[in-house]
Structure formats: structure tokens, C-alpha cells
């Protein structure tokens, strides 16, 4: 059972089998040389002293009558446990049994056992037991090649964890519950990717992650309150992060792409205004350089994040550190600019002076009224919306959604 788990907690489901089997050779033979050619007149038994890291004190292997293959083996573990492995006539491993450290005048208690397929490697079933003999774990190879694992609390009947592994050992499903049946964790492989949800004992979510080739997502919460703190989505072309206050209402959203970053600011959970910051060095930033940002536009937005007033600035090296208006759109009927039937468009010179004012019947409609302002008759400037232009601190910079961390 090769356990390359893609779901964080699935590694724990394999632990019992892994610890018990570590003292045995995965190919069904002792690590000692058992070939007849090496020792033509060999004894019917072989003693192997494995590396101490395996937790094995000694393994004694009984050979087949022709002394070509291992038949049975007895294993003594450093913690006092003992084990027995049984082989088929061709030397392939067929069954493993591990017993708790024996106590005087007490019968031996089975700790773990497993049956192995005809290839001598693939597990077909395994079971583990608490020291009093009640069941601790049941594993079974299903007809479709998947491997089902269920672990129990010490009463031997209340389910603790349930896991389903693919034939290659990757995790398909994992669930953890308390003795009272409360769900603490569920992870599964879906069409969208590897999805994981962690819950507090009060039932509220405390963490969510989704991992796939092209998209990852994570949600962090304020403790066990069930209220989100940060929602991050990472796609191949952009990152989106939403920040929330302790009351669960959004305070800010950032959408970061190759060429720039949109910042949405909320007030009492309602979208208020939007900034777009142009990334002046996108190619250098992609190579690891620190990004250089310049404010490109600001907008007043409605509850659906649609702008009804927007102002663009001149940008570029010669405008670095300056905020000079370029042109603006303004809806005159209260609708979002893209839906408005009456839009005012103002165009400014590089000095920030109003040049042309056009009233048109839609954002890109025909002009209704046009006014030009000759530049030799003075400069009419607009009052800049300084409250919309200030740089907004990032509450928590975006970090990569971490890969699953096996916990044992």
C-alpha cells in the first residue's frame, strides 16, 4: 500500500500499517542474502540484524526445504513487540502478524495483522487492535482496486477516521470525527481538485483549502467563530484575496495580475470605491524583483462593484510620483457607467487642464453636447479625490497556499 497522500490527514491513516510493517521487507524477503549460490551448504535458518532505525531487534528466517526461499520469519522489535511473517511457496510474502509485548501468565495479544496479494507487495487487508483486543483499525482492498480504512476509538465500535485510497496509494477521501460524532475534518478528491475542510468542536469551520493544477483556494477564519478572516484564490493569471473584519463583513478585496492590481475598499461590508495600481516593472517583478506601483485610476462604485464615476491618471516614468488627471467618466442618471444613458466625459491635458467636456447618450454613445476649453485662456483643473487616492495598506500579503503537511 504505497501511501503518497494528497490529502493532509490521510498520512495519519497509514501510520498504523506503516509502523507495523516497517520491520518487514516490502518484497517479502529478509534483508539477508537468501540465494543458494551464496551459501551452498547453508543452515535452514537465517538471522538478520536490521538497522536499528527500523525498530527491529532481530529477525530469524526459516527457509523452504530447498533453502531457496524464505518460508516463515520471527521478528523481535525493540519495544518488546513480536512479529511473524508467512511466505508462499514461491517466497512471496502472504501474511504478517504483530503481537503486543507479552506479559507473564497472559496470552499473547494480536496488535496488527495484514494479508498480502500474490505479488507479495500489495495489501489486500489489514486489522489493528487495542491492547485489550478491541478493534482499532480495519483496512480492505475493494473490487475497484481502492483501499478502505476505518479506525475506531477504544470502545472498538465508535468510528474515528475513515479513509479511501486509490490503487496507487493517493488519497481520495478522509474524514475525522469525535467520539460524539462531531465532524472535525473532511478531505476529498473532487473534479475541482483536493478539497479540505476543518471544523471546530462547535461545528464552525476553521479552515478551508482547495488545490488543483490551475487553481488553489484557502479560507482562514477568526478562531472558531465561523466568521471568515481571509479568502484567497490563486489562479494561473491572477490572485484574488478578500479580507474580512471580525464581524464577518468584507473590508477590502485585491485582484493582482501580471500588469497591475485592483483594490476594492468596503464600508460596513458594502463596496465603496476602487483603485487600480499599474505595475511598472512586470517582467522584472516576475523574475523576483520588488514591484513598482503607480496609481492608474480610481472609481466610485455601487453595491455590485460597478463604477458610476471613474478617473484615470497619466502614468509612466515621466509622471512617477505625480497624480495628473487624464480623463474621467461620470454617470448622470445614477446608473453604473456601463448602463447609463447619460454620461459626461472630461479630457485633460498633460498639465492637468480641462480640454474637452462631452455629454453623450451612453458610455460610448453619440455626443449630445461638446465643449472645448482652449488652453491659451487659462487652466481649469478638477479637485482631485484625495480620499480615494491614498495607498491602502495590505492587511496580510498573499502567500502561496501550502502543500499538505502530513501529521503523524
Same domain? For 97 and 1 the reply is yes
Same domain? For 164 and 247 the reply is no
The pLDDT, as a whole number, for residue 402 is 56
Same domain? For 259 and 389 the reply is yes
Burial category of 54 from C-beta neighbours within 10 Å (exposed 0-12, middle 13-18, buried 19 and up): middle
Q: Nearest Cα to 274, choosing from 293, 283, 286, 261? A: 261
Return d(Cα 205, Cα 7) in angstroms, integer. 17
- pLDDT, tens digit, 9 for 90 and up, residues 206-236: 999 999 888 899 999 999 999 999 999 999 8
What are 304's three cell numbers? 455590485
Same domain? For 35 and 157 the reply is yes
Same domain? For 371 and 241 the reply is yes
In terms of DSSP bridges, do strands 343-348 and 183-190 run parallel, antiparallel, or are they unpaired?
unpaired
Could you tell me if 333 and 340 are in contact, meaning their C-beta atoms sit under 8 angstroms apart? yes
- pLDDT, tens digit, 9 for 90 and up, residues 259-291: 999 999 999 999 999 999 999 998 998 888 998
* Final residue of a structural domain among 155, 181, 207: 181
DSSP 252-289: EEEEEESSEEEEEEEETTEEEEEEEEEES-HHHHHTTP
pTM, to two decimals: 0.74
Per the domain annotation, does 223 fall within a domain? no
Burial category of 230 from C-beta neighbours within 10 Å (exposed 0-12, middle 13-18, buried 19 and up): middle
The pLDDT, as a whole number, for residue 400 is 64
Return d(Cα 369, Cα 47) in angstroms, integer. 100
* Final residue of a structural domain among 163, 181, 199: 181
pLDDT mean for each 10 residues of the chain (408 residues): 37 38 39 44 60 78 81 91 92 94 88 94 94 95 95 96 91 94 93 92 94 90 95 92 96 95 96 96 89 95 96 93 93 93 94 94 90 86 93 79 45
Same domain? For 372 and 277 the reply is yes
Counted domains in the chain: 2
Q: Which residue segment(s) compose the domain that 344 sits in?
A: 237-395
Q: Nearest Cα to 6, choosing from 158, 214, 164, 176? A: 164
Amino acid at each position: 500500500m504505497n501511501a503518497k497522500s494528497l490529502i493532509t490527514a490521510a498520512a495519519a491513516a497509514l501510520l498504523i500499517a506503516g509502523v507495523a510493517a516497517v520491520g518487514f521487507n516490502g518484497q517479502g524477503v529478509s534483508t539477508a542474502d537468501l540465494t543458494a549460490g551464496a551459501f551452498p551448504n547453508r543452515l535452514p535458518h537465517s538471522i538478520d540484524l536490521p538497522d536499528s532505525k527500523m525498530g527491529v531487534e532481530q529477525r530469524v528466517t526459516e527457509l523452504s526445504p530447498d533453502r531457496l526461499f524464505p518460508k516463515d520469519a520471527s521478528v523481535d522489535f525493540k519495544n518488546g513487540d513480536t512479529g511473524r511473517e508467512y511466505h508462499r511457496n514461491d517466497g512471496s510474502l502472504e501474511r504478517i502478524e504483530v503481537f503486543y509485548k507479552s506479559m507473564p501468565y497472559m496470552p499473547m495479544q494480536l496488535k496488527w495483522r495484514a494479508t498480502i496479494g500474490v505479488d507479495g507487495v500489495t495489501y489486500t487487508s489489514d486489522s489493528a487492535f487495542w491492547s485489550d483486543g478491541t478493534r482499532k483499525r480495519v483496512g480492505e482492498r475493494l473490487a475497484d482496486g481502492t483501499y478502505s480504512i476505518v479506525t475506531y476509538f477504544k470502545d472498538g465500535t465508535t468510528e474515528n477516521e475513515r479513509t479511501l485510497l486509490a490503487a496507487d496509494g493517493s488519497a481520495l477521501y478522509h474524514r475525522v470525527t469525535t467520539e460524539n460524532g462531531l465532524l472535525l475534518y473532511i478531505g476529498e478528491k473532487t473534479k475541482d481538485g483536493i478539497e479540505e475542510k476543518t471544523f471546530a468542536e462547535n461545528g464552525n469551520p476553521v479552515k478551508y483549502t482547495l488545490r488543483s493544477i490551475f487553481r488553489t483556494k484557502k479560507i482562514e477564519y477568526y478562531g472558531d467563530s465561523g466568521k471568515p478572516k481571509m479568502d484567497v484564490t490563486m489562479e494561473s493569471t491572477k490572485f484574488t484575496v478578500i479580507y474580512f473584519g471580525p464581524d464577518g463583513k468584507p473590508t477590502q478585496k485585491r485582484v493582482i495580475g501580471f500588469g497591475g492590481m485592483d483594490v476594492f475598499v468596503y464600508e460596513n461590508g458594502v463596496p465603496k470605491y476602487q483603485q487600480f495600481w499599474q505595475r511598472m516593472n512586470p517582467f522584472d517583478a516576475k523574475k523576483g524583483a520588488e514591484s513598482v506601483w503607480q496609481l492608474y485610476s480610481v472609481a466610485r462604485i455601487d453595491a455590485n462593484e460597478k463604477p458610476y464615476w471613474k478617473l484615470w491618471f497619466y502614468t509612466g516614468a515621466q509622471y512617477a510620483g505625480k497624480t495628473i488627471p487624464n480623463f474621467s467618466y461620470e454617470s448622470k442618471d445614477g446608473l453604473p457607467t456601463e448602463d447609463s444613458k447619460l454620461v459626461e466625459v472630461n479630457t485633460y491635458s498633460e498639465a492637468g487642464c480641462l480640454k474637452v467636456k462631452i455629454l453623450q447618450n451612453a458610455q460610448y454613445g453619440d455626443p449630445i453636447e461638446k465643449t472645448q476649453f482652449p488652453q491659451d485662456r487659462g487652466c481649469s483643473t478638477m479637485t482631485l479625490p484625495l480620499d480615494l487616492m491614498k495607498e491602502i495598506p495590505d492587511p496580510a500579503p498573499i502567500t502561496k497556499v501550502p502543500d499538505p503537511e502530513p501529521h503523524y
